[in-house]
Amino acid sequence: MMKRVVLFAVALSVSASGWTKPFKSELKNADADFSYSWSNEVAAVPALVKRFSADMRTRRAGTVAGGKEFNAARKKMGDLPAGYLHSTAIETAGQSARLLSLEIAVANYSGGAHSNYGYDSLLWDRRASREIKFDDLFIRPAGFAKLTRAAYCKALDAERLKRREGERLEGEFGQCPPFSDLAIAPVDEEGDGRFERISFIAAPYTAGPFSEGEYALELPVTRQLMAAIKPLYRASFEPQRQ
């Protein structure tokens, strides 16, 4: 299952963004409807451009080949062409002097009643020039879950009750999904170079049936959470009043 979405001095980061542009590649014909895009912050990091360019080529080739095969089979059955669909959109959730946080939305259609979509996240350490795991931010790997799990599950329950008009579902869609099934990313909504919130995105079928769509929730960065973050990353975050 796809995980459900991920830096120099701020002045240098802003300058780098000014030298680059968002990227988007599109292809549309009877066999394939394909798009792949990333933000200008991604475009400023050559290693990420190389990584996503390779992924784009692989996914485009698979979408085109799969769509041709799919339409050939449909033609034999006398059906109209439908083709395959794929889109990947890589957006910046926020950035600090050291970290670039990305949210990745992916949609696919390869036959069936509807397309499917999911989310991922990516966290890039500019100083180390590599991707790091979200848990790498914390002094203890279990520190993040210990401080946020209860609050997240409570917020998810409240949102599910709202969408379900008070109805409680039994089984998988009544449980709180593990963090490993979510796209978790720090967010800088204020654009001041420090993350003040954490985004949790659960794709369809993760926290509820497809008809309910994704569940996108945010929790504030607290002082307790700040204390659990490794000192080298702490300057990238700012606590919120509770």
Which CATH architecture describes the domain 10-133? 2-Layer Sandwich (3.30)
pTM: 0.88
Which is it for the CA torsion 69, 71, 72, 73, positive or negative? positive
Contact 206, 173 (CB under 8 A): no
Distance CA 169, CA 79 (A): 38
pLDDT at 19: 66
Which is it for the CA torsion 178, 182, 176, 172, positive or negative? negative
Q: What would the two tokens of residue 28 be?
A: 């549309």
Task: Report which of residues 157 and 111 the model is more confident about.
Answer: 157
Greatest mean pLDDT range, 20-24, 114-118, 168-172, 184-188: 184-188
Chain segment 45-103, per-residue pLDDT in tens: 999 999 999 999 999 999 999 999 999 999 999 998 899 999 999 999 999 999 999 99
**Average pLDDT of the segment spanning 153-173:** 92
Residue 13: pLDDT band (50, 70, 90) is very low
Q: Phi and psi of 140, rounded to 5°?
A: -115, 130
Contact 102, 42 (CB under 8 A): yes
pLDDT at 5: 36
Chain segment 87-139, per-residue pLDDT in tens: 999 999 999 999 999 999 999 999 887 889 999 999 999 999 999 999 999 99
The residues, any chain, with a CB within 8 Å of residue 17's CB and separated by 6 or more, are 40, 41, 44
Distance CA 103, CA 23 (A): 15
Chain segment 176-200, per-residue pLDDT in tens: 999 999 999 999 999 999 999 999 9
pLDDT at 111: 87
